[in-house]
Amino acid sequence: MSNDTSNQMWGGRFSAGVDAIMEAINASIDYDKRMAAQDIEGSRAHAAMLAAAGIVTDSDAEAMREGLLTVLSEIEGGTFEFSAALEDIHMNVEARLKALIGAPAGRLHTGRSRNDQVATDFRLWVRDQMDAAIEGLEALQRAFLGQAEAGADWVMPGFTHLQTAQPVTWGHHMMAYVEMLGRDVSRFRDARARMNECPLGAAALAGTSFPIDRDMTADALGFDRPAANSLDAVSDRDFALEFLSCASICAMHLSRFSEELVIWSSAQFRFVTLSDSFSTGSSIMPQKKNPDAAELIRAKIGRIFGANVALMTVMKGLPLAYSKDMQEDKEQTFDAADNLMLALAAMEGMVRDMSANRESLAAAAGNGFSTATDLADWCVRVLNMPFREAHHVTGSLVAMAEEKGCDLPDLSLAEMQKVNGEITGDVFSVLTVENSVASRTSYGGTAPGEVRKQIARWKEKLV
């Protein structure tokens, strides 16, 4: 096929023909240049090890290490010219190093391959993202703790099926998210510990005949140990999959609270007011204040879920060891990490700045027969009724109140005694939402005292 025919088939994007198409599909520099700092860190550690093992001279190793710092400063300063023809960050750095220091640059690749090099770079990059995610999560936990502490005894409705269930406290609801985010932190920490093995020195797939010191490079790069199998070292992307899995679960938690914020900030609920910094207006309706940041977090989560599925799909059919398919491991991981960090920062800002409407929360807490369970428990505790009978009595009283268009505390004692003559005036002591929440003193319950215990525990953990 002539170049002219090829150009007509592929269109103007690939005006240079088949060579341009191959370059475009093969090159990864447009996105893997994000790993420049990790690539140079790994190369500097490798150069030092080569000298220590007597594989290269000290002067050559020093020239490599200094030259690599120059390359890094050019990249960070925005003066480095990346080339798609050189395919990836590794070859771009090496080519520039050769231009700077000459022949010693050619010795840098002794005892390694791009396969173990990229596995090391990517592992270092993901490890940094795990650390950043943990930091972002703990900042968000502190924001929730601040809200919980301010409203530890504020009553609000608790929901199941988004229907009023029982009264809870604002502090208790906020602390639920502190617990969720705490599990997210532990997942990232577990994954980080598991992935902290160094692939460098595995070379292409079989190791190397040079007398390298893999413990030295692992230690220099902050890894716990070198990876124990060279085939596994270059073909493993479990660490990226675990990062994406942890990110997906975390993102799901953020999405759940985003949904609550969208509901709570509506005119129908008025539970919270979001700050102007995280809201927008309408182009046509002047009264609107839209919870756009919450909605965007809720939507961006799909990209994180998608990245997890995409990388699973890339990896599922690959034989050992390295395949070019694995070049597709980075773009979605980079995108997921960016969106997770953005979502964490936006959520932390929203939670820190939002104002809970105590009056609206309290008014809603008493609606929907929210103290019905307290009434049933009173019948069991005071009248010694079997719970199923107490449930039936309470249901009959709810039906009576519903027919009258009132709530349970508004029924008279005489009306209640029509359903069960043993009911006494003491029953009204459990029908206020304040008494309801105060009675839930079991460990992890919504009573303000229990909530404050959990706040204190978490404040100590997050010091």
pLDDT tens digit sequence for 135-160: 999 999 999 999 999 999 999 999 98
103: preceding bond cis by omega (within 30 degrees): no
Tokens of 89: 């960050």
Predicted confidence (pLDDT) at residue 1 exceeds the cutoff of 70: no
Residue 5's pLDDT is 42
Query: Out of 5-9, 64-68, 404-408, which region has the weakest mean confidence (pLDDT)?
Result: 5-9
Tokens of 225: 């140990």
Per-residue pLDDT reduced to its tens digit, 418-449:
899 889 988 888 888 898 899 899 999 999 99
Q: Does 392 qualify as catalytic in the annotation?
A: no
* Tokens 């008014």, residue located: 363
- The Cα 287–Cα 54 span in angstroms is 74
- At CA 404, angle to CA 398 and CA 410, rounded to 5? 70
Per-residue pLDDT reduced to its tens digit, 373-394:
888 988 998 999 999 999 999 9
Contacts of 65 (CB under 8 A, 6+ apart): 44, 47, 48
- The Cα 267–Cα 269 span in angstroms is 6
Residue 388 CA: distances (Å) to CA of 293, 377, 378, 425, 440: 46, 11, 13, 22, 21
Residue 3's pLDDT is 46
Q: Which of 15, 59, 277, 282 is catalytic?
A: 282
Residue 287's pLDDT is 52
Q: What does the radius of gyration of the chain's CA atoms come to, in whole angstroms?
A: 31
Enter the DSSP assignment of 420.
Answer: -
Q: Does 2 qualify as catalytic in the annotation?
A: no
Contacts of 408 (CB under 8 A, 6+ apart): 369, 371, 372, 375, 397, 398, 401, 431
- The Cα 9–Cα 17 span in angstroms is 10
Per-residue pLDDT reduced to its tens digit, 191-247:
999 999 999 999 999 999 999 999 999 999 999 999 999 999 999 999 999 999 999
Q: Which of 2, 161, 209, 412 is catalytic?
A: 161
- The Cα 14–Cα 11 span in angstroms is 6
**Helices vs strands, H then E, count in the chain:** 19, 6
